[in-house]
């Protein structure tokens, strides 16, 4: 176990050789940090990582995440498996609403397998304006009655909690839905906190984040009655608003078909005329040509 700062711990750790020696000097340009299972206990030197987007500090001994306050571009934060809130004589809690309101781009937050015990403290997460998915399973607080109900109705942007996408039944009180749309239905099951393979890059992480968000939205689109009704209503209103265009096209199509019939009729008459002139010597040429000219004039009027 290491007891110094993050820089001292990492530079003395055998896995630090995998990273460039100059990486610390360029911390402000970091977009991806992954230090999992290295027994770290401090994040204080991440304050200068102002460009950080993906931060993975799982399975360490982190007790304070306030140094991340300057990392306002964070999209994914993984702190699962840390002994947060359990350090003796230094009991700490999640940062206040000011901290979370600053993380405007944070969408995925993994806090499972930690020592969180108070629901009141977790309600601070309601200030996070873009949070979509949160994990809190295997924490003492997840065993409390009403834990899921409190979090779902406190964090309005939340779409998935632990292993299930949030159902409409959890949001709308006293709404009893068919089995397909009920809470914990197998259709809403989705494990969005599975770890990527070792050696994954920043691009891999970003692709995985996009996949998780799109999958959650897809599950909701097919299993949320509210979204289904909204989708059908929008479709109806759009079709109603655009109906005059469809009617105009239909009218235009009927005119076009009428013109085609005129063309085919005159073409057939012309062929018949020339056939009679060349193969039937007794044909009344004057009368035939008169009718042919009259038809041509009628066709010209029809088009112009």
Instruction: Parse the chain into domains and list their residue ranges.
Output: 6-229, 242-303
- CATH fold group of domain 6-229: 3.80.10
173-219 pLDDT, tens digit each: 888 889 989 999 999 999 998 877 788 899 999 999 999 999 999 99
Give yes or no for residue 280 having a pLDDT over 80.
no
State the Cα–Cα distance between residues 293 and 216, nearest whole angstrom. 70
Helices of type H across the chain: 6-12, 97-102, 119-122, 147-154, 168-171, 202-223, 225-241, 243-279, 285-303
Residue 98: per-residue pLDDT: 92
75-94 pLDDT, tens digit each: 999 999 886 544 443 334 68
């Amino acid at each position: 176990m290491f007891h110094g700062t993050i820089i001292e711990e990492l530079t003395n750790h055998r896995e630090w050789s995998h990273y460039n020696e100059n990486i610390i000097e360029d911390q402000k340009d970091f977009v991806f940090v992954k230090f999992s299972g290295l027994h770290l206990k401090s994040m204080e030197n991440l304050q200068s990582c102002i460009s950080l987007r993906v931060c993975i500090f799982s399975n360490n001994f982190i007790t304070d995440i306030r140094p991340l306050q300057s990392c306002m571009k964070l999209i994914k934060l993984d702190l699962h498996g840390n002994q947060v809130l359990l350090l003796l004589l230094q009991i700490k809690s999640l940062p206040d609403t000011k901290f979370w309101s600053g993380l405007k781009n944070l969408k995925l937050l993994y806090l499972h397998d930690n020592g969180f015990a108070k629901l009141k403290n977790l309600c601070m997460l309601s200030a996070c304006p873009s949070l979509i998915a949160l994990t809190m399973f295997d924490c003492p607080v997840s065993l409390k009655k009403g834990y899921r109900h409190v979090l779902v109705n406190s964090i309005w942007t939340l779409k998935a909690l632990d292993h299930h996408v949030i159902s409409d039944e959890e949001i709308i009180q006293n709404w009893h839905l068919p089995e397909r749309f009920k809470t914990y239905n197998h259709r809403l099951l989705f494990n969005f906190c599975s770890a990527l393979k070792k050696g994954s890059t920043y691009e891999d992480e970003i692709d995985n984040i996009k996949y998780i968000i799109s999958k959650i939205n897809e599950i909701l689109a097919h299993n949320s009655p509210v979204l289904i009704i909204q989708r059908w209503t929008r479709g109806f209103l759009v079709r109603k608003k655009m109906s005059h265009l469809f009617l105009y096209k239909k009218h235009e199509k009927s005119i076009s078909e009428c013109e085609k019939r005129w063309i085919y009729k005159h073409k057939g008459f012309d062929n018949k005329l020339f056939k009679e002139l060349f193969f039937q010597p007794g044909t009344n040429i004057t009368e035939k040509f008169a009718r042919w000219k009259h038809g041509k004039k009628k066709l010209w009027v029809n088009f112009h």
